[in-house]
Structure 1
């Protein structure tokens, strides 16, 4: 089978090289090596595609797709390169990189249109002089493509819901070689499916999103030592923030991490990433987090761009990494138990003996009512209750440690998921942008949603190119 795949990719590379000589990059060329370095997980950069293809517009993207469909050649798609799942945004066959799809412009006054090759930092650089913001990634290096196609969590999640809810139009290259626009008025079913449905329908080459005027807001990162008492306060504040009457201007992302050299007390650290959509110092809605003693406090009045520029754990593209994740509904005590058991298991696993500079992190996404019950393809239903998505993240440097790290993470993830399942709090759906290959994503959605997504895929990709030839979270 490998020989067949290799022959197919070789045929496709030569065909594409004749059609688009300036677009196909082959191993050894400087542009190839530069493109193949753009992965958050260095394990993905170790994969060497037969060719990297960098289309310059939607029609060229569609023509490339038609060739790959006709030759039944496997390929992967990459926007910002942030997805750490091994092989999900690269391939030993052909990689389509959206790097050159990087235009940004204001349209119709209050809408912004940008190519799929942008990172959020570029979008914010463009919008800041206009005093505008958009519900995008919370860190500058995150790519726009995968972020929006799997939902996207922004500083405005409590008000907007998934960031994709603010997309008013997708430009999409299909495997048929056609380019279509998906919006409420045109290809409406595809428009709905792309708001969370991932890579399963085509390659989105451009997004048009709603903006809002917000020259400055309050936010930043507060760092605290994660002793058990402090952790209890953090989780009480986090659970309170998605229950009852929620201030929709408030945002929180709770990140905990343990690096032996940095955490010499033996306790993990917390990075409490806070924001409030207004120039309000110490917003009341976030008082539970602000009352926690911090060893470092970076909160201030700032622009969206400045908040995205803040240093956050795990953002550098210089290490290896992985994700595992699960979702649940419960209380702060269960979350504290998950936190305690996670770091106990990580320390006992030998991962820090394998790589002394390794990091184990645990992150929580508080999925309030707007995220759980919105109109996108990853809504859990109109009556869905708020929940938490919990993300396991490892980072390390040594390539020889990768096998050990994945084995440890998988073992810990299964133990924590069983703990949640035994408590009756488990939710099968996992947000794709924080999930690992073993986690449930689309299969955790309501049955009627899965059926509708499959029907849309069958209509716009009748040959199943994006189910059969493209790695990633497929529809089931």
Structure 2
């Protein structure tokens, strides 16, 4: 009850949760967690008071920005104290228009809307309801990554509540060691109450989603020995009709193959240095349960200058594989790209994100695609099941941005070459299916890593924002950088408040 005395009763909720608290989490796995207390600070001073009280009584806690993490306890403390930063929602633009102050309680949709009205943009998330805090502290892959680097590399200053309750402005000049650690260090060093971001001018972009019908999964399943027996069911009839539809689409030149898509992605990665007009792209394969088909989605974002008719190099090979079944590519605002991405990220389901970093090779990724097809069979009939794998290149241009203002702890080197982030990210409905889905992801991950290790293509790095709870994120930063981060943590948190008392998220 001391928190009530320290913070005032309207900021502290004991035993009964605020009405909108549960639904503010993206993933139902997080919604299942019930904290004993929720704190809603209104100021950095409130956060300071909460940290001092938590430290004094050795209470376990979690920090919530947008609540978009995908596993239990990541930003919600089971039986403990959840510090919900939603009211720390500052949005300000400096007088000179160069710096944007953004509170951790903001979500990216509102951030883009606010700064777009002022003719500015910041490097941020790609989904409207993703929170600012966790995204920026985990590095941040953005639509503007190839132009400006990681989102975290565009933070000029952090306003941070440290373990002793002090409030500090942390930047390259004031605290270069802590500034370095915060750029990818998650919540291990303090609670950020405001981010000062680089603000840029940005006109329209050319981009959108391009969905391609794949004609080869059925044949590939047959080659893999996967058989789906005949059934007198409506689903079997629908799936049979959909296969007939794919054959018609193929005759009309409106389908492609997984092989063509994968080879096109490889060409894009190899050609990326020759095209400075594009900002980001990725390739996703998803299984649609009712029709029983696998489709491919290519999302791309380019500068609208030069005009799209000039056919940017990075899109040439994808254009050569045939017209997509559905395309939204157009000249538009960056905010509209984020809004378009929202229907692919609907809250209120159960999710797993599991990340593997690799050096891309089309032949090997074709084998990974076949492993994905095999693993679909184990979970395809679970209610609401939506298996997906996503391949996102992390270009050399993005990694070079790591040197900005002292760099960050990710530990990339000039010898890494083009690398990619592979996300295994299924979605499903029921809690009773959790273990089956986790086992499926574990099998696919293990087989993929064994294959990549064998081919010499596995990279040690793990992207924090797409990692699952079973992954050791900071081991991927390299032994030297992890050791440096531990030393910095001991310096600013000698009592281990953020290590001992915050058990739910990744630990240095």
TM-score after normalising by structure 2 = 0.86
* Structure 2 contact 360–418 (Cα < 8 Å) conserved: no
Tell me the equivalent position of 1:335. 365
Alpha-carbon distance in structure 2 between the residues aligned to 1:439 and 1:332: 26
Runs of 5+ consecutive residues of structure 2 not aligned to the other structure? 217-255
CA shift, 1:218, in A, is 0.9
* Structure 1 contact 371–379 (Cα < 8 Å) conserved: no
Residue 303 of structure 2 is aligned to residue 277 of structure 1: yes
User: Which has the higher Rg, Structure 1 or Structure 2?
Assistant: 2
1:186-225 equivalent positions in 2, closer than 5 A: 186-225=174-213
Decide which moves more: 200-209 or 85-94: 85-94
Decide which moves more: 292-301 or 228-237: 228-237
Choose the corresponding residue for 2:385, options 328, 336, 358.
Answer: 358
Choose the corresponding residue for 1:161, options 120, 143, 149.
Answer: 149
Tell me the matched-pair count.
454
CA shift, 1:234, in A, is 2.4
- Per the alignment, do residues 287 and 131 of structure 1 end up closer, same or farther by CA in structure 2, a change over 3 Å counting? farther
Residue 80 of structure 2 is aligned to residue 97 of structure 1: no
Tell me the equivalent position of 2:115. 127
Tell me the equivalent position of 1:64. 50
1:48-447 equivalent positions in 2, closer than 5 A: 48-92=34-78, 93-107=80-94, 108-228=96-216, 230-243=257-270, 245-250=273-278, 251-261=280-290, 264=291, 266-279=292-305, 280-281=307-308, 282-292=311-321, 293-312=323-342, 314-347=344-377, 349=378, 351-355=379-383, 357-373=384-400, 374=402, 375-447=407-479
Alpha-carbon distance in structure 2 between the residues aligned to 1:186 and 1:242: 38
Secondary structure of the corresponding residue to residue 331 of structure 2: strand
Secondary structure of the corresponding residue to residue 142 of structure 1: coil
Give a deviation string over 1:40-91, Cα, whole Å, max 9, x none: 1111101110011111121211211111111111111111111102221111
* Structure 1 contact 27–48 (Cα < 8 Å) conserved: no
CA shift, 1:185, in A, is 1.3
* Structure 2 contact 25–68 (Cα < 8 Å) conserved: yes
Give a deviation string over 1:364-400, Cα, whole Å, max 9, x none: 1211113445222214124432211111011111222
Alpha-carbon distance in structure 2 between the residues aligned to 1:72 and 1:249: 52
* Structure 2 contact 147–398 (Cα < 8 Å) conserved: no
Decide which moves more: 287-296 or 169-178: 287-296
Tell me the equivalent position of 2:22. 36
CA shift, 1:246, in A, is 4.3
Runs of 5+ consecutive residues of structure 1 not aligned to the other structure? 1-13
* Structure 1 contact 147–433 (Cα < 8 Å) conserved: yes
Secondary structure of the corresponding residue to residue 209 of structure 1: strand
Aligned-residue CA RMSD in angstroms? 1.7
CA shift, 1:171, in A, is 0.7
* Structure 1 contact 314–395 (Cα < 8 Å) conserved: no
Secondary structure of the corresponding residue to residue 237 of structure 1: helix
Tell me the equivalent position of 1:9. none
Alpha-carbon distance in structure 2 between the residues aligned to 1:53 and 1:370: 41
Give a deviation string over 1:144-198, Cα, whole Å, max 9, x none: 1111101001112122221111111111111201011111111111111111111
* Structure 1 contact 149–198 (Cα < 8 Å) conserved: yes
Alpha-carbon distance in structure 2 between the residues aligned to 1:212 and 1:259: 39
Secondary structure of the corresponding residue to residue 206 of structure 1: strand
Alpha-carbon distance in structure 2 between the residues aligned to 1:109 and 1:313: 32
TM-score after normalising by structure 1 = 0.91
